[in-house]
Every structure is written in C-alpha cells, then in structure tokens.
C-alpha cells in the first residue's frame, strides 16, 4: 500500500517535471540517453555485428542532436556518410572474415579493469575541471539560426575553404589508391 503511494507520488513528480520541460529539452535528454547507452553497448557487446548495429544507433542519435541544433546539412551528411557508407563497409569486412562467432580471446581481466579505471578517471578529471569554467555558462542556440543550412555552408565552403576542399579530393584519391594497393592479393 505504501509502496503504491510512493510510486504514485514519484509518478506525479515525474509528470510535473515533464510538463515543466520544453519539447526541446525532452528531446535532448532522450537523444543523450540513447547515445550514451548505445555507445556503452558498442564497447561491451561480444559479437562484432551487434557492435556495428549499436554504433549505427549512436550515429542516428548524434544526427538527432544535429537536427536539434539546426545543423541540417551535417545531420544528413552524418547519416549518409557514417551510417550509410562507413558502417556498411564495416559490416562487409566483418562478414567477409566470418567473425560473427565469439571466438576472440578476451583481454586479461586485470587489463580490462585498469582500462575502465583509466577512462573513468579521464572523465572525472575533465568534468571536474570544466564544471565551473567561465565559458561553460554560455548557451548554445537550439532550433534556430541559419548557419547550418546548405545555402550558407556552401557559400563559405566554395569561397574561403576552397583550397582545403580541393586538397581533400586529393586525399580521397590517395586513400583509394592506398586501399587498392594494400588490399590487393599478391
């Protein structure tokens, strides 16, 4: 009986919290929780294929964050390039190697423990350092502002950043030649 009353009170608190938050905030928290949970699952799943699928979910939630920040071009490019091209490449390689059975030997238990401790301390130190920083009080503009639209991005990309853009095409060409040379059977 008391448990039920407690649960009811909790639900009332939760619903009042929800009504106090705007839609943007609710979406932000949902996408953040989804991104973090699926990122954790990328690391802990045993089967590499499941890791790839969780990583795709992470990329979609990060794209959701881009849409929330009104960076529409980057959201679409993120989905096309990462979730569409790179992850399919990963899946093909995993299936080509027939790695989808759990034959990989695990790292030593101690080494895993030390790795988690090291990453956790980095997170702790960075959060503690940035918690009270002066610039951390600023606001990021959500759901408005035009700079994420393809019109303005394209203007700047093809005037100020045209040299890096052309250089990246050379980079792509050399990466393609490199991949073919390395992957060729001799």
Partner 1 sequence: MPINYYIFLSLTIFCIGIVGVLTRRNAIIIFMCIELMLNAVNLLLVAFSKMHHLQQASTSAMAGIDGQLFVFFIMVVAAAEVSVGLAIIVMLFRNVHSVDVNFLNRLKH
Binders of partner 1 among residues 120 to 179 (CB under 8 A) are 120, 122-123, 126-127, 130-131, 135-142, 145-148, 152-153, 156-157, 161, 164, 168, 171-172, 174-176, 178-179
Which is closer to partner 1, CB of 13 or CB of 111? 111
Does the CA dihedral 15-21-24-25 come out positive or negative? negative
The number of beta carbons lying within 10 Å of the beta carbon of residue 77 is 15
The 8-class DSSP code of residue 65 comes to H
Task: Single out the segment in contact with partner 1 by CB under 8 A; choices: 1-9, 10-18, 45-53.
Answer: 45-53
- List of residues 6+ apart from 22 with CB closer than 8 A: none
Task: Single out the segment in contact with partner 1 by CB under 8 A; choices: 4-12, 13-21, 52-60.
Answer: 52-60
By the 10 Å C-beta count (0-12 exposed, 13-18 middle, 19+ buried), 78 is classed as: buried
Residues 11-30, interacting with partner 1 (CB under 8 A) = 24-25, 28
CA distances in angstroms from 137 to 6, 21, 29, 90, 140, listed in the order given: 36, 19, 19, 39, 10
Smallest gap from residue 17 Cβ to partner 1 (A) = 16
- List of residues 6+ apart from 47 with CB closer than 8 A: 100, 102
Distance CA 29, CA 23 (A): 10
**Count of residues of this chain found to bind partner 1 when the rule CB under 8 A is applied:** 85
Among 8, 18, 43, 95, binds partner 1 (CB under 8 A): 43
Largest CA distance in the chain: 75
Task: Single out the segment in contact with partner 1 by CB under 8 A; choices: 2-10, 11-19, 42-50.
Answer: 42-50
Q: By CB under 8 A, is residue 100 in contact with partner 1?
A: no
C-alpha torsion angle, residues 127, 41, 106, 112 (rounded to 10): 10
Among 10, 12, 16, 115, binds partner 1 (CB under 8 A): 115
Q: By CB under 8 A, is residue 58 in contact with partner 1?
A: yes
Residues 62-91, interacting with partner 1 (CB under 8 A) = 62, 65-66, 69-71, 73-74, 77-78, 81-82, 85-86, 89-90
Q: By CB under 8 A, is residue 55 in contact with partner 1?
A: yes
């Amino acid at each position: 009986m008391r448990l039920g009353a407690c649960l009811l009170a909790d639900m009332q608190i939760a619903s009042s919290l929800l009504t106090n938050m705007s839609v943007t905030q609710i979406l932000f928290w949902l996408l953040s929780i989804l991104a973090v949970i699926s990122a954790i699952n990328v690391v802990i799943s045993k089967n590499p294929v499941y890791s790839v699928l969780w990583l795709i979910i992470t990329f979609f939630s990060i794209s959701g964050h881009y849409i929330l920040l009104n960076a529409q071009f980057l959201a679409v490019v993120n989905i096309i390039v990462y979730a569409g091209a790179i992850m399919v490449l990963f899946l093909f390689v995993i299936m080509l190697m027939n790695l989808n059975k759990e034959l990989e030997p695990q790292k030593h238990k101690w080494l895993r423990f030390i790795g988690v401790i090291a990453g956790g301390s980095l997170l702790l130190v960075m959060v503690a350092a940035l918690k009270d920083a002066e610039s951390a009080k600023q606001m990021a503009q959500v759901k408005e502002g035009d700079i994420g639209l393809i019109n303005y991005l394209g203007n700047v990309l093809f005037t100020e950043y045209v040299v890096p853009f052309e250089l990246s095409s050379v980079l792509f060409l050399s990466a393609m030649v490199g991949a073919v040379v390395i992957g060729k059977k001799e």
